[in-house]
Structure 1
Amino acid sequence: MLTDILTGRLLALPDGPDAPLAPITRLPCPLGAVAPLAGRPGHWVAAAGTGFCRIDAAGRADWIARPEDDAPVPMRMNDGVADPHGRFWAGSMAHEATGKAGSLYRLDRDGRVTRVLRDVTIPNGPAFSADGAVMYLADSARGVVSRYPVDRASGDLGAPEPFVTLGSGSPDGMTTDVEGGLWTAVWGAGQVHRYRPDGSLDRVVDVPAGQPAGLCLGGPDGRTLLVTSAHIGLAAPGPLDGAVFAVRVDVPGAPAAPYRPAYRADAP
């Protein structure tokens, strides 16, 4: 699954490269990210509009919270992911990318929404280690990926440390693999990078689009790196700007973690 953020669409990848993306639903607001809802096939938790909602199998949105409704500048939710312990995390940003206007939020299993970080401009990721004890978060406007210790029981964050600072391009969507490597799309550079857990650069993958945006590791063996791209803001987009790419890699990723609400999964 992937989102087309500014059009509010949730889409499924086709079986073949020549088939169009299959629409699942379309919200009347930007749709930043989704995670599957544990025990409810076809249901999702989403970072959308100014907050969080659940999307049912018919594509209807049930709003949980809209923490950015009263922000001083117009805001929208951006990237997000569920952690290995069943919480859902997502960042917000200003529509005009106003400096330090964004935040990182955590949707706990009991449905409570907490702002855990402020003063982020364009948050992307986050991505988590396999045990959920480490979180990576990119502030794309600053070109920096930071690493945070995470209390696995509460979800509280410890003090961050710089992990990667890019000299060109901006870190965008991220994911981790089973060896603890961090993959990040590099917006503006036409590349995807893999970093070892010590922050050293391990691999660079070139893609035929200038603005790689999101990525995940999937396929039957977890070794297919899927990379989305965007054409927004390009004066003369190329034929593959806005396309989705697949690259085979050596180290697999784990299946996407679901959001696991504390209430019964089969409850209405």
Structure 2
Amino acid sequence: MTAEEIAPTWRAYTSTRHRLAEGARWMSGSLLFVDLLRGDLYRVRGVGGGSPELLLRLNMPLGAVAPTSGASSGRWIVAAGMGIALADARGGLDWLARPADRPDRAMRMNDGGCDRAGRFWAGSMEVGAALGAGSLYRVDPDGTVHEVLDGLTVPNGPVFTADGCLMYIADSARGIITRHPVDPASGALGEPARFASFPPEAGRPDGMAVDDDQNLWVALWGTGRILCLAPDGRRLRTVHLPTPHTSSVAFGGGLMFATTATHRLDRPGPLDGAVLAAGTGVTAPPVRPFRLIADG
């Protein structure tokens, strides 16, 4: 079966351009995303787009963010710098752990997100993408941080099925996506299976999303494409974009969103670095919060 080829009408959802926009998430009628290298978290309200509202400025690489179960107090859980912390609205950080703070390597945190039970998962990588130097960490509701996978290079995701029983994680540098069974009660991972592989010319699997039909959507860095994979691994759709560096994908308000980057482009085009939006009939769950026990 040949994947359906789609070239929707994309528009710049943001009036700004970013060096490395990442981590698109739909939440309460707004889109959240980060500028990873600047360490900023932004929000754009509604489907019309416009100028992003700066929510956090951390002055360190910011790989991923999720609201906490007490988000009304203005707190977020962040994978930033060399660790994982709770951040207040002013950017004050209460560190839960700094697992990437290593004397032998220059490390930073990368992508992450929450599962159905409200656990936060985030990966680490060496800043020069040294082979196998990264890990995946799980933050439980009591705030404890656990290393659950090692030997990763550039981890992106993870993302989870609606029932919380499967996790997908990409190792972008290796061009692979693996799928792990998850115990929804404990967060323990079962034996992994390779779900998809990409040769370098196909692009590197980056940010991902699982839609309401349990299909996996993958942003392919370097080739200006987003790929939709069925739960059995079949390639259902290939969505083309007008910019090569697509870094994450999200759905909300009848739109598909794609974050992009000017990073490593000698001559960025007019849409490089924008968050793009196009109409779609695909739906997906909104961002899941981190359920910190202390927040009740």
Quickly name the TM-score band, shorter chain normalised. Answer: over 0.9
1:59 Cα deviation after fit: 3.0
Q: Does 1:131 align with 2:163?
A: yes
> For residues 134 and 251 of structure 1, what CA distance do their matches in structure 2 show?
20
Determine the structure 2 residue equivalent to 1:175: 209
Determine the structure 2 residue equivalent to 1:8: 39
Determine the structure 2 residue equivalent to 1:100: 132
Q: Does 1:186 align with 2:220?
A: yes
Determine the structure 2 residue equivalent to 1:83: 115
Determine the structure 2 residue equivalent to 1:72: 104
Match of 1:186, as an amino acid?
L
1:194 Cα deviation after fit: 0.8
> For residues 63 and 286 of structure 2, what CA distance do their matches in structure 1 show?
20
Determine the structure 1 residue equivalent to 2:70: 39
Q: Does 1:208 align with 2:242?
A: yes
Match of 1:12, as an amino acid?
R
Match of 1:141, as an amino acid?
A
1:251 Cα deviation after fit: 2.7
User: Please, which runs of 5 or more residues in structure 2 have no aligned partner?
Assistant: 1-31
Change (3 A) 1:205 1:71: farther
- Cα deviation 1:209-262 (Å, max 9, x = unaligned): 11000121222xxx4221101111112221211111112222310111110012
Native 8 Å contact 1:14 1:20 kept in 2: no
Q: How high is the TM-score relative to the length of structure 2? A: 0.85
> For residues 33 and 225 of structure 2, what CA distance do their matches in structure 1 show?
19
Native 8 Å contact 1:32 1:80 kept in 2: yes
Native 8 Å contact 1:35 1:257 kept in 2: yes
Match of 2:53 among 10, 15, 22: 22
Q: Which moved more, 1:240-249 or 1:253-262?
A: 240-249
Bigger RCO (CA 8 Å, 6+ sep): 2
Q: Secondary structure at the match of 2:292?
A: coil
Match of 2:181 among 149, 160, 166: 149
Q: Secondary structure at the match of 2:294?
A: coil
- Cα deviation 1:100-156 (Å, max 9, x = unaligned): 111000011111101111111100011100011000000000111110000111111
User: Please, which runs of 5 or more residues in structure 1 have no aligned partner?
Assistant: none
Q: Which moved more, 1:66-75 or 1:186-195?
A: 66-75
Native 8 Å contact 2:69 2:295 kept in 1: no
Q: Which moved more, 1:209-218 or 1:133-142?
A: 209-218
Q: How high is the TM-score relative to the length of structure 1? A: 0.94
1:14 Cα deviation after fit: 5.2
Determine the structure 2 residue equivalent to 1:109: 141
1:47 Cα deviation after fit: 0.5
Counting aligned pairs with the same residue, the percent is 46
